[in-house]
Structure 1
Amino acid sequence: MQNNSKSVKIRKKIRKVKIGELEFDVILADNFIKRAIGLMMRDIGDGAMLFLYKKRKVSIHTFFMRYPIDVIFIDENRVVETTTLPPWRTYSCKRYSTAMLEFKSRDVDLEALIGEEVKFIF
């Protein structure tokens, strides 16, 4: 997406993310506070938090988390890497990505999602 006001407005309207058979209602981490806090101290049930950023390799942590999370890294509307993180861990994505989806860990074969198309629903 271009970095102009129109694309920013469109990005802020993302409400769901669909990957294969999985569909998530998302909270968009669209400001500094939401990005810094992420899922810490938050129970989002079956939802997910979506982080959008310029293409890069990102690192994340699960400090202060009360439960394990699954993380999906996205680039060019495809899943490029996945991981499951227990509380109090760090992880550095080995691939470049432009988005990251975090959600409470569940019984999902994350490896099978690599290469899957990601659909952003407005």
Structure 2
Amino acid sequence: MIYKIINKSKDKVISQTAFIARSFFSRLLGLMFRKSIAEDEALVFYHAPSIHTFFMRFPIDIVFLDKNMRVMKIYPALKPWKLAICLHSLLTLEFPPHKVSQTTTKVGDILELIPISAKDSLLP
């Protein structure tokens, strides 16, 4: 499935093309070893209270959501070889650097994932 991510609190689209990392390998690899992430792309992880940027070549914005899709914590432009943690989060979102600030997304905002295509993601 491909999703659109919307900030319902601000009525803004954050990502037009969000993929859910479902398999062991897509969760393990995430964005590692990629040269970049597209401006409208995002990666979604379920039950991942910590994310690392080991072996990454570029910074990313990280957003942790609770069970109500409320933003719990934001790590803006997290550089390679760093760790982001938010205990008790349900979803973790990875965006291109500065995407969160460009969309004025803040802690406490409510986000929504809207299915836009039944096509399988590009991730294994």
Q: TM-score, normalised by structure 2?
A: 0.75
Pick the structure with more helix per residue.
Answer: 1
Deviations 1:23-78 (A, max 9, x none): 2110110111010001112233120101112xxx7222111111111100011111
The alignment partner of 1:30 has SS state of coil
Between 1 and 2, higher relative CO (CA 8 Å, sep ≥ 6) is seen in: 2
Q: Say what the alpha-carbon RMSD is for the aligned residues.
A: 2.1
User: Is the CA contact 2:70–2:108 (under 8 Å) kept in the aligned structure 1?
Assistant: yes
Partner of 1:17: 5
- CA change 1:33–1:44 in 2 (3 A) is same
- Runs of 4+ residues deviating >4 angstroms: none
Counterpart CA distance in 2 for 1:26 and 1:78 is: 17
Q: TM-score, normalised by structure 1?
A: 0.76
Partner of 2:33: 41
Deviation, 1:88, is 0.9
1:74 aligns with 2:62: no
User: Is the CA contact 1:82–1:111 (under 8 Å) kept in the aligned structure 2?
Assistant: no
- CA change 1:107–1:48 in 2 (3 A) is closer
How many pairs are equivalent?
106
- Name structure 2 gaps, 5 residues minimum: 116-124
User: Is the CA contact 1:14–1:120 (under 8 Å) kept in the aligned structure 2?
Assistant: no
